[in-house]
Structure 1
Amino acid sequence: MANEILQLDIQDHHVVMDNGILQVTLSKPDGNVTGIKYNSIDNVLEVDDKETHRGYWDLVWNSGTSGTTGTFDEMRGKEFEVMVQNEEQIELSFKRNYSFKDKAVPLNIDKRFIMLRNSSGFYSYAIYEHMREWPPFNLPQTRIVFKLRKDKFHYMAIADDRQRFMPLPEDRLRHRGKPLDFPEAVLLVNPKEPEFKGEVDDKYQYSCENKDLKVHGWISMDPPVGFWQITPSSEFRSGGPLKQNLTSHVGPYALAMFLSAHYSGEDLVLKLSPDEPWKKVFGPVFFYLNSVSDGGDPLSLWEDAKTQMSIEVQSWPYSFPASEDFPPPNQRGRLTGKLFVLDRYINEEKMPATDAYVGLAAPGEAGSWQTENKGYQFWTKTDADGSFSIEHVRIGDYNLYAWVPGFIGDYRYDVLINVSPGSDMDVGDLVYEPPRNGPTLWEIGIPDRSAAEFYIPDPDPKYINKLYVNHPDRFRQYGLWERYAELYPDADLVYSVGVSDYTKDWFFAHVNRKRNDGSHLATTWEIKFRVDNIIDKSGTYTLRVALATANVAELQIQVNNPEAKPSLFTTGMIGHDNAIARHGIHGLYRLYSVDILGSLLVEGENTIFLSQIINSSSFNGVMYDYIRLEGPPSDSISLQNS
């Protein structure tokens, strides 16, 4: 099929791009993908659906109300234009400009589709623009959706160890499935294929962090064809490398998520104020199709898709998009440097920050990158010696941010970084001094922004997803929050420093206890530890509590007296991350530091009480990342673990 001629057929209501490998049909001027002809399949998209529901961009917006919901808009274009047509490339534009008389989202939207010669796929990107004089609004979500043929695409792949045959969409209907505690989760009680009976289907079980979300898709076994969504860069995604997004789910659907509030709540809703101009390019992303010859293994299509993903990553940033709003490689900049960590209670010398995450994002406070959603972010990881190189950065002003696994807190370089076309800057040696007041007396967990190291129980046998049995991502099973009440039916968790093992004795989520009548009881966990000698009662100890997520929770902390009023510390109501319900092991990272006067401690056994006091649902709660008690700065204490 090599060296086929690119053809463009413009019809009354459709336009067809054809490079001899595949043929893509779009509605005109809407800009929805209505057909993809590939190999022996006339249309890989769901032919039983309306044309508008097969392949489309969409968004959710509201006029400024709180929350993460709003009006659903499929972003249908009103103007069609051929931007590029030559022997190597076709690029099409489907544009919709905002008018004050419209009730639509106040955005100019330009959706682009690109086909290249000899390419087994096509690209899409879009430019969103809000003018200063237009009404303010909120944008909770935007994405690209493809619904594939349910009679062919039954096997889904997200990662080497996250792939499986999937149920059918009919299996989620009322007569075949039983809705569970939230609408996305359905127990399959009478599926068309008996092998899925007793399984839970829930799209959130297939979420993935941005840093790992580069290729995912579906395989048809007969004929052996793959459909893949490849995202070569996360620069246009909100929330940074740890932000979790949906991938693929029963439908069969394949998604390219750009902006969402999943695992973060309203903090990730893009909010444009009055008189605030804004423009952003989402994409390009690549939709790749592949096949194997007769007798070949259809599952090998996943390996080929990963190879193609690597090619796309190496080709980023692309040089072929026609929009001047997407800068090519020579219009971008580069930043290098070396990051060290200085924690004098571990080492008096600075240490290389190995495998640290370093990134450029919009100016803000330390850690603000995880809720940033209007601009672009550029992340990398440091080498063994702490060196890093951030490539292909768009022009603009940024702060440099970092965090280091094994250490708490967030780093921000205080000098504003200005990136200009072709710039190559070296910031030299940077030193992060993580929060620390005194020596570590004890610690629980690993400071890595995740609760994955804690005890994650087996699921209730009636709520199984077979993919995650004996799997590293066992936390993705449904209903694990209910296991807490089964493990602690009468009294809450008690952890004894020096005796307990956090991998076995610290439940991964601090949730409510569900009663038999369906109501919920707030829970208080205890950490018991010994102090054998308090030299200075006026000294200050520091409790560091790092949270991996919080959902409509309030954490109150007491020392030795759980009834003291007011509590020694409270977070107030925090979080709408929903990571507990959505099987995520983290959401937004939060770090709290609590001063404890030596006079509150006693020689002998002491107890810290952690109370999560909001008890309106099973999903109120927090996940801890890491807890540490530090002694006073001077050597005024000896601790005996027991």
Structure 2
Amino acid sequence: MKLQSPLSSVLCLLASAGSVLGVSGPFLTQLNESAWVFGNEIWNVTQYQTFATKLWYDERDLVGDAVGHYVSYNGAASNFNWTSASVTANTSTYLDIAFSAIEGDMHWVIYPDLAGAYQYFVNHGLPVLGEFRTLWRLDNTTFPKGRTNVKDEELPALSEYSAATKIQDETWERADGTFITKYDWTAWTRTWDFYGVYGEDAGSWYINPGKDYYNGNQLKQELTVHRESSTGDAVQLNMLHGTHFMASSSDVFSDGKIWGPWLWYLNNGSKADAEARKTEEFSSWPYAWFDNAWYHNRAAAVKGSISLSDGRPASGAAVFLGDNNPNKTALDMGGGYYYTTYADADGIFSFEHVLAGTYGLQAWSNGSAIADVSTSLLVNNVQVPSSNGSVDIGAHVWRLNDRRRLFQLGDFDRKALGFKYGGAPYQHALVDRCPANLTYTVGKSNTSDWCFAQSANGTAQILFDVDAVSNQTAVLTVSLGGFSAGTNAEITLNGAKVGNLSSLASDQSLYRSATAAGEWRLLEFSFAGNLFRKGSNSLAFTVKNSTKWRGWIWDSIILEWA
């Protein structure tokens, strides 16, 4: 039902407290050609051409002087402008309202007794892009705190920004040398439970049990909440397609691609209540109420197993179902739908509620029992038919190389875990604590003696022994958890150059608070065995020109005979 006639008389229906008099259940009312009021008897919001404001809940406005709700892509450069609103479904249980723009339709599914609404977006004209988001910017006094599954504390007060010195994008240094940055509120997308902003008597939360519409794999990290530095708005982000900590993310979307549904949930600020609602939502996904045949065309489970070519099970491996015949990394994929899981101790894996289609199956080491494995698995043309039960995609063998290992520093898991500071809470400038010069001795030093990242001018070296010199070719594998351009290193073996770390596409991980990973890179350098010496040898990574906070996050360093 398309609402086209301006209804100026509706203004008399709005009480000062924001409730809508004479309206029972979910509603949509048009004020003029570019303004609507919608909600239910618990809450309502006024939607204008771009921003939704006047969020009335519990007899007050939760937006206040803040910006409100909007949808945008490529940062704030392209905000959506809504041209019309319509009721796309009016059932006995809910009202589905769609706001339309050139790019697509933003839906709000409103139940009579629900504080909040389910939301989803249907693409019709999004351009090739990297960043696409929905968000709330809410009153800064009502919502002084933020909560994710990894961080729960007060948001910085607006006054702190004016008293500090801006040093880079959304990052300030206080007089005491500590930092304020929105990037400290990053979290791993695939492990989000519920997140939002809250205070003593109000909370606004996102609960997203289905994550197949997000871009990226297990290593995808995104912003969640923060304080808007110029106005103080409490910001609640829903990064549907994000680019933070990535070197490349530019995707084409098919007409009709759906993001969601997810739940935007209001309450009195209780985290216990939000967590209980999260449990309910996760157990209900995929949502039975969502009237879309394509959405329910799924296999209940996709199962299989992976073993290594040396006979071991792929215990604990990260397993990913993504683009078929991919031309980009798993982290950079974003045009389709993506599923993540981990194999058990026997190499058996299972994905739940997978949309029917043709996929590429990937697996890589997540450390632990297979921390020595530097290769990865790719199986194309994996068929997932629609099924109410499980689909078995069979047993797969993961081929290893047959090289003879001299040493390995750090588990191969695409993260800096195990190194000093690796995996610490998100924080700016942690790399400053890494020494410019560092020596690790194979067989004597601990993994934690090696720092998680390298940036400053200096040399990080590994000392190791070789029993006998050989003319055989050696291979150095350098696995980086992330790389931020601006710092270069020369790699030498006993003073002879064998490679360098430079000229890689840059991600933002190291200078934007990441401590474990960004965009994973795998580099291999081959060289003659006559560069070795019998007895003690030195493999060195020497930085001679650097940019502050730029450099790389380590994952693993492996030296082998080919």
The TM tier, using the shorter chain, reads 0.7 to 0.9
1:440-488 Cα distance to aligned partner (Å, 9 max, x none)? 32221121211132123xxxxxxxxxxxxxxx9535233223334xx44
How has the CA–CA distance of structure 1 residues 218 and 317 changed in structure 2, closer, same or farther, with 3 Å as cutoff?
A: same
Equivalent residues of 1:31, 1:111 under 8 A apart: no
3-state SS of the aligned residue for 1:352?
coil
Q: What is the CA distance between 1:438 and its match in structure 2?
A: 2.7
Q: What is the CA distance between 1:38 and its match in structure 2?
A: 2.4
Residue equivalent to 2:558: 628
Paired letter, 2:29: I
> Bigger CA drift: 141-150 or 492-501?
492-501
Residue equivalent to 1:295: none
Residue equivalent to 2:36: 15
Distance 1:331 1:356 in 2: 24
Equivalent residues of 2:36, 2:46 under 8 A apart: yes
How has the CA–CA distance of structure 1 residues 494 and 32 changed in structure 2, closer, same or farther, with 3 Å as cutoff?
A: same
Equivalent residues of 2:324, 2:380 under 8 A apart: no
- State yes or no: 1:527 paired with 2:462: yes
- State yes or no: 1:87 paired with 2:92: yes
Residue equivalent to 2:281: 312
How has the CA–CA distance of structure 1 residues 581 and 356 changed in structure 2, closer, same or farther, with 3 Å as cutoff?
A: same
How has the CA–CA distance of structure 1 residues 363 and 611 changed in structure 2, closer, same or farther, with 3 Å as cutoff?
A: farther
Matches within 5 A, 1:236-255: 236-250=213-227, 251-255=233-237
Unaligned runs of 5+ in 2: 1-22, 228-232
- State yes or no: 1:422 paired with 2:409: no
3-state SS of the aligned residue for 2:274?
helix
Q: What is the CA distance between 1:243 and its match in structure 2?
A: 0.7
Residue 587 of structure 1 is aligned with which of 518, 524, 544?
Answer: 518
Distance 1:127 1:332 in 2: 22
Residue equivalent to 2:9: none
Q: What is the CA distance between 1:377 and its match in structure 2?
A: 0.5
Equivalent residues of 1:235, 1:378 under 8 A apart: yes
Aligned length: 526
Paired letter, 1:259: H
How has the CA–CA distance of structure 1 residues 473 and 559 changed in structure 2, closer, same or farther, with 3 Å as cutoff?
A: closer
- State yes or no: 1:37 paired with 2:56: yes
Distance 1:560 1:279 in 2: 58
Matches within 5 A, 1:425-574: 425-434=391-400, 436-456=401-421, 474=424, 476-484=426-434, 487-488=435-436, 492-504=437-449, 506-513=450-457, 523-534=458-469, 537-552=470-485, 553-562=487-496, 567-570=497-500, 572-574=502-504
- State yes or no: 1:269 paired with 2:250: yes
- State yes or no: 1:148 paired with 2:135: no
Equivalent residues of 2:185, 2:225 under 8 A apart: yes
Paired letter, 2:492: Q
Paired letter, 2:45: T
Paired letter, 1:171: E
Residue equivalent to 1:117: 112
Equivalent residues of 1:382, 1:388 under 8 A apart: yes
Equivalent residues of 1:89, 1:114 under 8 A apart: yes
Residue equivalent to 1:58: 72
Distance 2:375 2:38 in 1: 48
How has the CA–CA distance of structure 1 residues 595 and 227 changed in structure 2, closer, same or farther, with 3 Å as cutoff?
A: same
Distance 2:97 2:348 in 1: 41
Equivalent residues of 1:205, 1:583 under 8 A apart: yes
Q: What is the CA distance between 1:413 and its match in structure 2?
A: 4.0
How has the CA–CA distance of structure 1 residues 587 and 473 changed in structure 2, closer, same or farther, with 3 Å as cutoff?
A: closer
How has the CA–CA distance of structure 1 residues 302 and 246 changed in structure 2, closer, same or farther, with 3 Å as cutoff?
A: same
Equivalent residues of 2:122, 2:259 under 8 A apart: yes
Equivalent residues of 1:333, 1:419 under 8 A apart: no
Equivalent residues of 1:334, 1:389 under 8 A apart: yes
Distance 1:614 1:397 in 2: 46
Q: What is the CA distance between 1:247 and its match in structure 2?
A: 0.6
Equivalent residues of 2:429, 2:549 under 8 A apart: no
Give the aligned CA root-mean-square deviation in angstroms.
2.7
Residue equivalent to 1:260: 242
Distance 1:116 1:477 in 2: 40
Distance 1:111 1:338 in 2: 39
Q: What is the CA distance between 1:332 and its match in structure 2?
A: 5.0
3-state SS of the aligned residue for 2:31?
coil
How has the CA–CA distance of structure 1 residues 92 and 410 changed in structure 2, closer, same or farther, with 3 Å as cutoff?
A: farther
Distance 1:600 1:303 in 2: 61
Equivalent residues of 2:377, 2:399 under 8 A apart: no
Unaligned runs of 5+ in 1: 61-68, 98-107, 132-136, 190-196, 292-297, 345-349, 457-471, 514-522, 633-642
1:212-243 Cα distance to aligned partner (Å, 9 max, x none)? 2231112211xx22211112122111121211
Distance 2:254 2:116 in 1: 34
Equivalent residues of 2:31, 2:37 under 8 A apart: no
Residue equivalent to 1:184: 170
1:572-593 Cα distance to aligned partner (Å, 9 max, x none)? 5013112111111211111223
- State yes or no: 1:163 paired with 2:152: yes
Equivalent residues of 2:490, 2:501 under 8 A apart: yes
Distance 1:331 1:429 in 2: 21
3-state SS of the aligned residue for 1:628?
strand
